[in-house]
Structure 1
Amino acid sequence: MTKKQSFYVQTDLITLFILFVCVSLLSIYNAQQLEQYDGKNFVLQQIVWFVVGVGIVAAIQYLDVEQLYKASLYVYIAGLLVLVILLISPASIAKPVNGSKSWFTLPGLSLQPSEFTKVTTIMYMAAIIQKHKEKFQVSHIKSDIQLLLKILAIVAAPVLLIMKQPDFGTSMVYLFIAGILIILSGINWKILATLIASISAFIGGILTFIVKFPDLAKEIVGKSNAYQIDRIMTWFDPAQQTSDAKWHFEQAFMALGSGQLFGKGIGNQQVSFPEAQTDFIFAIIGESFGFVGSAFVVFLYFILLYKLVMLGLSIYKHSTFAAYVCFGYMSLMLIHVFQNIGMALGIMPVTGIPLLLISYGGSSVLSTMLGLGIIYRIAVENSIQNDYLFK
């Protein structure tokens, strides 16, 4: 292997990916042992998605960071157009699922565009931050407000389209990513403090209204979205609720608790609940591999998040765009991990947020691999730049 070829072998990222794949396949195999999935082979389908994802990662390596930077606007616009097409598409190719029109349902294939636009939105926000920093070498209040408004405008477009589906959980993921990038973009702390206080007051007001007047809240959101109010109420006080969300909590608790220290092993699942291979995969991990297995999964995510932060800090001096793509992807992983695991533990409301790199699903796997491919390319260029630096 030549020295140039060695740059393309990022051992740490490859090792982490292999470990995540192993955890994913073992967990999904255990999930499909439940009686409700009799005859289904989610593992084989997941392997196919991972193989396709690896192809995507390999294809992205033919592009450099500068090309990705130049393409960011175009892929962002393309992502928005796909979301618009989804909304206006007939039910024959975009069938509503659980009241949400979030999927293209083609023969033998279902894709959720909002998963992919997370990556394209991160790319364009990162590009805007770089352009802004190049234009304003010395920041001031006015320029910081301009940057804040630019980021909010970029994230508002996909959020509004996704809320029309409606998909409240995914919308919150976009807002979280934008919030982290705003904090890390260097905007004046006075502006940030005002923004954080305003958003906290707004969210606090909405939650207080829902808890105090749940029936009125259901009337406002409509019958098709009333289940979201039930989920929030269950989150605040599970003991007083009778909704499906409460049952989900109880089953997840039972699965996690029954795993004890080392779990029940492979193929010994006893606690059944819907979407075990996707939304509640962490409960399957807890039941199968116990506290030790669950802690290992959390540790894997910690290592990945740490790697993303360190890569972003290292590449910052060479490419602001690449650094903020790393920070954005880190934010994406963080919110998915926190929400999904928190949901299984009962500290977060029930949503359809998957555990990235582990949960079953084509859109989830492929969009995550798309982002991982960009991160891998950034890691390659960072290695090349550091090699030149120390020559």
Structure 2
Amino acid sequence: MDLGLSKAKRPDKFDFVLIALLVLMMCTSLLSIAAASGIIGASTSTFYLVKQAAFFIGGFGVIAILHYIGNDSLFDFAKIGYWILMGCLVLCLIGHIYYRFTGAEKFLGFVSTVNGATSWFNFPVLGSFQPSEYMKIVLVIITANVIDEHNKNKSIDSFELDFNLFIKILKWALPPMILIFLQPDTGVCIIIAISIVAMVLCSGIKKEWIIFIGVFLLIAILIFAFLYVYHYDFLGKLVGGPYKLTRFNGWLHPEENVGGDGYHLYMALLAIGSSGLTGHGMGVNLVDIPEAQTDFIFAVIGQSWGLIGTIFIVILCAALDLYLCRIATACENMFEKYIVIGVLGILIYQQFQNIGMVIGLLPITGITLPLISYGGSSIISYMIAFGIIFNASCKSKKHVE
């Protein structure tokens, strides 16, 4: 395996803008977690703050290592990571089956079930590890390679060749997605699907496929809405039980479900709605926001710094997204270009979903706000992705200034 350590193979430029944006994200994340101290407690907030800072420092270390190694052997590393993570996901599935039959939230001492989902490994001293977070980045790399190799070897455009591309991608993506879905973690499955769709749509497939995918998604949404309104009980059976639809009830009618599935959204809306232009100030938390340091950190930002704070977050996210678009446009290496597109798809979806659910535009899914919410696996996996993107940007002849 060629690590690409020679000077000739390493990137020859340095992307200060991307690093500056990531540092700004880190500072915003740490301030936001500190602002949640009035809700989760000062000592707990300090604990999360120190760990989050350590995650970011480790993440920048990962970027430095990847910068030294280069992107030449990415696919080789991704294949190794894929099979290691598949083993981890199988352990999670066994742990979930064990939990369903025994009620025990620990399997083998480290496979953990939290809120009914067996998605975590917890180790003493080392902390927690979520395999699915890393799998979504590994699948971006593998899918990018599959698309790149497919396009290099095809001589004409045809529906048959496009269909063959889909099959090649599904051979890699479907097994881990099934295992993740059975944990159950629908949110990560959607994230993986979004990243793959984003890369496929930019792969040069015939435009008829794009129309087909769009029409299919629209029809699926309309059918779901129709069944929810007119055949609620049937839809409940279809998705595995009416209890799975309670989040939609809490989303559509939070005031009527404050004691149940509407509680999280109701408190988030109350926190943001009462904050005004500048908010109540850092650490002044008049509303007890649930999951303040993770899923609902955007509500904490709104409560602390008001409309100005929330607009700042939206602008910061948009700035990072637009810069990644420029990097993708500048990439001459198609493999790296597809990776940037895949990561961008994940990033935009998570931002839109998290902010949308906190302000009531979308149902609550448990998806965090990237690079701002607390979470080691999320931070490190994203920094791996940004390390790859950093290399792609640095060595591009059309380097983004």
- TM over 0.5, yes or no? yes
Q: 1:240 to 1:209 in 2, by over 3 A?
A: farther
Query: What is the match of residue 79 of structure 2?
Result: 73
Normalised to the residue count of structure 2, the TM-score between the two structures is 0.88
Corresponding position: 1:378 with 2:384: no
1:145 corresponds to 2:163: yes
The CA deviation at 1:211 is 4.1
Show the 5 A alignment for 1:1-391.
Answer: 7-34=12-39, 36-37=40-41, 39-40=43-44, 41-89=47-95, 91=107, 92-108=109-125, 109-219=127-237, 221=239, 227-241=243-257, 244-315=260-331, 317=332, 319-382=333-396, 385-386=397-398
1:234 positional shift: 2.6
> Aligned in 2, Cα 1:241/1:211: closer, same or farther, shift over 3 Å?
farther
Shift in alpha-carbon separation, 1:48–1:348, aligned structure 2, 3 A: same
AA at the equivalent of 1:183: L
Work out the CA distance in 1 between the residues paired with 2:222 and 2:246.
17
Q: State, as a whole percentage, how many aligned pairs show the same letter.
A: 32
Greater Cα shift, 89-98 or 320-329? 89-98
Q: State whether residues 49 and 365 of structure 1, in contact with CA within 8 Å, keep that contact through their aligned partners in structure 2.
A: yes
TM-score, normalising length from structure 1?
Answer: 0.90
Cα distance in 2 between the residues matched to 1:6 and 1:61: 7
Structure 2 counterpart of 1:39, which letter?
S
Answer whether contact 2:250 2:262 (CA < 8 A) is retained. yes
CA–CA separation in structure 2 for the residues paired with 1:189 and 1:297: 35
Whichever residue aligns with residue 269 of structure 2, its letter is F
Stretches of structure 1 lacking an aligned partner (at least 5 in a row): none
Mark the runs of 5 or more structure 2 residues left unpaired by the alignment.
1-8, 96-105
Q: Contact 1:126–1:325 (CA<8 Å) still a contact in 2? A: yes
For 1:243 and 1:163, how far apart are their aligned partners in 2?
28
Counterpart of 2:338, as a letter, is Y
Q: CA deviation at 1:149?
A: 2.7
Compared CA separation, residues 221 and 143, structure 1 to 2 (3 A): closer
**Pairwise CA distance, 1:51:** 1.3
Tell me the CA shift for residue 228 of structure 1: 3.4
- Encode CA deviations 1:320-344: one digit per residue, 9 max, x unaligned: 1100000001011101100100011
On the 8 A contact 1:152/1:178 being kept in 2, the answer is no
Quote the Cα distance in structure 2 between the aligned partners of 1:7 and 1:289: 41
Deviates more, 1:189-198 or 1:123-132: 189-198
- The ranges of structure 1 where at least 4 consecutive aligned residues each deviate by more than 6 angstroms after the TM superposition are none
RMSD over aligned Cα, in angstroms? 2.4
* One-letter amino acid matched to 2:247: R
Matches of 1:200 and 1:5, distance apart in 2: 45
| 1:188 positional shift | 0.8
Counterpart-to-counterpart distance in 1, 2:219 and 2:292 = 35
Task: Give the drift of 1:76.
Answer: 2.8
**Which whole-Å CA distance do the structure 1 matches of 2:141 and 2:365 have between them?**
25
What is the distance in 1 between the residues matched to 2:180 and 2:144? 21
CA drift of 1:217 comes to 4.2
Q: What is the letter of the counterpart of residue 361 of structure 1? A: G
- Structure-2 change in CA distance of 1:9 and 1:76 (3 Å): same
Q: Which amino acid aligns with 1:105?
A: N
> Does the 8 Å contact 1:151/1:182 carry over to 2?
no
CA distance in 2, matches of 1:29, 1:277: 9
Letter in 2 for 1:26: L
| Count of aligned pairs between the two proteins | 379
* Structure 2 Cα separation of the partners of residues 270 and 172 of structure 1: 34
Distance 2:286 2:273 in 1: 12
Deviation digits for residues 254-301 of structure 1 (CA, Å, limit 9, x no counterpart): 111222112222121211122110000001111111111211111111
Amino acid at match of 1:37: G
